Amino acid sequence: MAYTTFESEISVRPDDIDMNNHVHNARYLDYVLAARYDQMRSCYGMSMEQFIERGLGWVVNTCFIQFKRPLAMGDTLRVRTCIGDVGSTHAKVDFQILKKSNGKLAADGYFDYTLINAATGRAEKLPQDVIDMYSI
């Protein structure tokens, strides 16, 4: 099944810069997490807060990233994400981080999230309405 790709725009901040005068590698992951937080609310219609109200949460069980080009102070990024796969208790999210100024790929990869019951911390089967929301 093909899923919709969504895009969020993020600007590099001064505290994102490392001693090599470019964006620290860990910040790339923060950019993807910030984009997903925004997209859950604005694109899928179910914010993280709504998951929490239902006693559910998402945890990362796998993350993979390939760095292609450095990002620097003053750059604006386009973070593209889409669902790569949905399983009984997980969702794989593929991503790309592109420099807005030239459209070149700075990094790509994926996150594999597991849905958990917030009270028990154990994996929870994805409710059908969540599967339906993510299947756009």
When pLDDT is averaged across residues 47-53 and rounded to a whole number, the result is 94
Report d(CA 135, CA 24) in Å as an integer.
33
Name the superfamily (CATH) of residues 6-134: Hotdog Thioesterase (3.10.129.10)
98 or 132, higher pLDDT: 98
Q: How distant, in Å, are the alpha carbons of 10, 24, 68, 107, 118 from that of 19?
A: 21, 8, 19, 20, 38
Q: Which pLDDT belongs to residue 86?
A: 94
The two three-digit tokens of residue 101, written as one number: 């100024």
Q: Which pLDDT belongs to residue 27?
A: 97
For CA atoms 39, 41, 42, 45, the dihedral sign is: positive
pLDDT over 70 percentage in the chain: 99
34 or 132, higher pLDDT: 34
When pLDDT is averaged across residues 91-109 and rounded to a whole number, the result is 98
pTM of the predicted structure, to 2 decimals: 0.92
Instruction: Answer for the pair 35, 106: CB distance below 8 angstroms, yes or no.
Output: no
The string of pLDDT tens digits covering residues 56-74 is: 999 999 999 999 999 999 9
What residue segments make up the domains of the chain, in order of their start? 6-134
When pLDDT is averaged across residues 114-132 and rounded to a whole number, the result is 95
- 1 has pLDDT over 80: no
